[in-house]
Amino acid sequence: MLVKIIAVATQKGGVGKTSSTINLGTALALAGQRVLVVDLDPQAQAGTALGLNLSSEDQLARSLGWAIQGRLQGMRMDLASIWFDRTELVAGFEGSGSLHLLACEESTMTAAQDLIHKRGYQATPVLRRMLLETASEFDFVLIDTPPAVSSMSATALAAADFVLTVCMPEYPSLKGAAATRGTVRYVKDRTGGECEPRYLGAIVNRSNPPSKWRVQEVNIRNGMLDADLAPFRTDIRLDNRISDSFAFGIPAVVRFASHAPGRMYGELMNQVLVRMRQPQEDWETPERIETEMLGV
């Protein structure tokens, strides 16, 4: 089975990109898959969500930022020597697979980003090349990306086979998701045909139940369809248990496996897997909503 690399990306921060990456990746591990989470965001929130912060000198030497810098300077970097095994988070579930993390911290990742920027677009495939060297170790790789337009976000898109974006029911997040959708189209040309990610759809995050929808949320949902963002049929509803789980270093899909967070991410994971096998014309998306139906 060939590894499938998925980047979760958006040009708007604070919309739940990291929680989407972590919980989808962990849901795949719970379903028996071998999963690697890659933290490309200098804020290193994916590591925090999986209970790991690079703090000691020995741990800093295992930062993905160092590895990327080394590769760009001509050194062979062994990713297997720096990733962290977080399988303990899913080990208590019958039939679970494995969960590993390529972690980062701010200074080394920022330096790697600057080096990629100096080298230009010919350097953006660096991460994909590194990941493909370890492809036999994993079934899925999920990449948490920086929210801003940067050389590192371009590197994440170039590394991916598939790209998911995230949109909250607020106007600024719609613009950021649409910009990401547009950027994916240019990756192939900018990497000389080496990288060709496929856009896979938009996650609606922190949404309200239909009984609480107002005009803005309906406009955002219809706007996602108009912008060809292909939202999934399953939303991730607003639930404080998801964000609170960061403080425990345990993904919500594990802490609340039998409750709403576990069910939502499980359903979303299945829809992502289905789309990966289908042409876009066969994807199921929500229907358009008429504001007159809201009664407000």
CA-wise closest residue to 115 among 125, 123, 107? 123
- What pLDDT score was predicted for residue 177? 94
pLDDT digits (tens, 9 = 90+) for 27-85: 999 999 999 999 999 899 999 999 998 876 777 889 999 999 999 999 988 999 999 99
Q: Which domains does the chain have, with CATH numbers?
A: 4-278 (3.40.50.300)
Is 278's pLDDT higher than 70?
Answer: yes
- What pLDDT score was predicted for residue 290? 82
- What pLDDT score was predicted for residue 66? 95
Higher pLDDT, 126 or 294: 126
Owner of token pair 């950021």: 176
Average model confidence (pLDDT) across the chain? 94
- What pLDDT score was predicted for residue 20? 98
Mean pLDDT across 199-223: 94
pTM: 0.96
pLDDT digits (tens, 9 = 90+) for 256-266: 999 999 999 99
For the ranges 36-40, 59-63, 140-144, 152-156, the lowest mean pLDDT is seen at 59-63
Is 292's pLDDT higher than 70?
Answer: no
Is 1's pLDDT higher than 70?
Answer: no
CA-wise closest residue to 156 among 4, 19, 7, 16? 7
pLDDT digits (tens, 9 = 90+) for 172-187: 999 999 999 999 999 9
**Dihedral of alpha carbons 17, 80, 132, 118, sign:** positive
DSSP labels for 77-127?
--GGGT-EE-GGGTTTSTT--EEEEE---HHHHHHHHHHHHHH-GGGTTHH
- What pLDDT score was predicted for residue 149? 75
Of the pLDDT bands very low, low, confident and very high (cuts 50, 70, 90), residue 156 is very high
Tell me how far apart the alpha carbons of residues 18 and 144 are, in angstroms, rounded to a whole number: 6
Q: Extract the tokens encoding 55.
A: 């703090």
Distance of CA 145 to the CA centre of its chain: 7
Mean pLDDT across 281-288: 96
pLDDT digits (tens, 9 = 90+) for 81-98: 999 999 999 999 999 999
Tell me how far apart the alpha carbons of residues 165 and 142 are, in angstroms, rounded to a whole number: 13
Mean pLDDT across 126-136: 96
Percent of the chain surpassing pLDDT 70: 97
Task: Report whether 197 contacts 162 (CB < 8 A).
Answer: yes
